[in-house]
Structure 1
Amino acid sequence: MTTSQPREPLPDALPPPEEPADATAFLASPPAHRWGFGAFLLVEVVLLASAAFVSVLVGDTGPGPLPIRVVLLGTMLPTMIAAAVAVLVTYVRGNGPLVDLRIEWRWADVRVGFKYGCIGLVFTTVAAYLWTRLVGDANATSAISSLVEDRQMSVSAAVVMFVYLWLLGPICEEVIYRGLLWGAAERLQWRSERWGRVAAFLLSTAVFAASHLEPLRTTLLLVIAVPIGLARLVTGRLPASIVAHQVNNFLPALTILLGALGVASF
């Protein structure tokens, strides 16, 4: 006859799971993406190629009111296609646009973006005035302003262009320059995270100004780009620079709208 061995008492509760060694840092640092400057160059090629294709497709519009198809195709479509490709890159080679492009909605970022946008609007207005006095009205006019100068538009076309210049265009451009290009620059091995952000700010500001392909206005575009980039630098997220860009674009977009409708002259 055998005697049963006494069983060891079960623990009252299972031990809690071990926390990662640096859980806070893990949550604060998003997963690394696999795209870099090659992705940005691809987006730039798409932007230039689509602009050239649309230019051929539109052709000579001739005299008279500017057709709405020119507004939709010539000024909007290339940038929208390029921004869509940038977003697609983050899905194919990264973690999606919300993580890779730092698209996180915070009201604090809206306030920061509005503040830097207003500051930028003041500096841009002063810089534009001085630049006009220096080089003349003709050389200080943007490419879009030249497109609609002395050409009346239909109400629908003027409104579409206003909404694009004020709201949609800044979103697309920020996704490309302060999103994709910024992320590519930060991905490089810098001495510290701070230096990576500063390098991303400087590079995206310079490339943003040069990418408009308006050599005479590059200096003015640099003035415009600095406050927008600072909003991205200070917050670390894209919505702040989007808001700053939209605030900065409001008055120029309104001027083009009124001019296109014949309410005011450029």
Structure 2
Amino acid sequence: MAVTPLSEVATPAARDHKWGFGAFLFVFSVFVLSAVLIGAVIGLARPDSTDSVAVILVGTMVPTFLATLAALVVTKVRGNGPKIDLRWSYNREDLKAGLKFGLIGLVCTTIAAAAWTQIVGEENASSSLGRLVDDQAMPLPAAVILFLYVWLLGPLCEEIIYRGLLWGALERLNWGRWAVFTLTTVIFAVSHLEPLRTSLLLVIGIPIGLARLYTGRLGASVVAHQVNNFMPALAVFLITLGVMQP
């Protein structure tokens, strides 16, 4: 399937939004501060429950949801809304392009993850979420919620923040599209706050960013991210059910 280059995509109407890079910093601050606050509140209320199901679900999902909500509010209050400002769409062409880049990314990520595991060792190879759910059995409803978050909802939220808000902020600074692609990919990797996995996250972010770059639309990168996250989400699901060992 041929993907239409950005240069051939119809140029949208001129955007006059009043938000920029400061909006991304605000949204990322919401994420970090809410994560710290939630951790502190749970730690004070239930100091012996840091590995409980509720802590995992709330601590993992709520900060991301709050940051995404902040991003959407910024586009409504200071711009034209997410459809225009973030180039949001979700149509057949987005699905086709996202599947193509997502499958390419899945292959590249699998190879890179295997090589990276050999370098750092099995004990250091898990993501922060993987370490969190190690040996943590969950009831089926909670495991399904976490699976759907890692596979579908988390990627949607992250794309709104990074390939939506951040991408739009850098475009507003009149950066070239390859510069925007490069910087958003780097910030995406670094912002996960997992220094040891940053190089692997760069590999993961490249095909996702390319989906956004070559289509000019956010929907394609959302699909690519969701495809890339399916196998990790499935692994987390099987671990939390006790079917697979971490």
Structure 1 contact 116–227 (Cα < 8 Å) conserved: yes
Question: Is 1:97–2:71 an aligned residue pair?
Answer: no
Question: Is 1:129–2:114 an aligned residue pair?
Answer: yes
The code of the aligned residue for 2:33 comes to A
- Gaps spanning 5+ residues in structure 1: where? 1-24
Give the CA deviation at 1:62: 4.0
Structure 1 contact 30–99 (Cα < 8 Å) conserved: no
- Write the mapping of 1:142-157 to structure 2, written as runs, cut at 5 A: 142-157=127-142
What secondary structure is seen at the aligned counterpart in 2 of 1:33? coil
Question: Is 1:263–2:246 an aligned residue pair?
Answer: no
- Using the alignment, how far apart are the partners of 2:10 and 2:181 within structure 1? 24
- Using the alignment, how far apart are the partners of 1:36 and 1:216 within structure 2? 30
- Using the alignment, how far apart are the partners of 1:26 and 1:144 within structure 2? 40
Q: Deviation per CA, 1:135-169, whole angstroms, max 9, x where unpaired?
A: 01121110000100111111111111000000000
Question: Is 1:41–2:25 an aligned residue pair?
Answer: yes
Match of 1:221 among 172, 182, 201: 201
- Using the alignment, how far apart are the partners of 2:145 and 2:20 within structure 1? 34
The code of the aligned residue for 1:211 comes to S
Higher relative contact order (CA 8 A, sep 6+): 2
- Gaps spanning 5+ residues in structure 2: where? 1-8
- Using the alignment, how far apart are the partners of 2:10 and 2:116 within structure 1? 47
Question: Is 1:198–2:178 an aligned residue pair?
Answer: yes
Structure 2 contact 49–55 (Cα < 8 Å) conserved: no
In structure 2, the residue matched to 1:160 is 145
Give the CA deviation at 1:26: 9.9
Count of aligned residue pairs for this structure pair: 236
* TM-score after normalising by structure 1: 0.85
Give the CA deviation at 1:230: 0.3
Question: Is 1:238–2:218 an aligned residue pair?
Answer: yes
What secondary structure is seen at the aligned counterpart in 1 of 2:186? helix
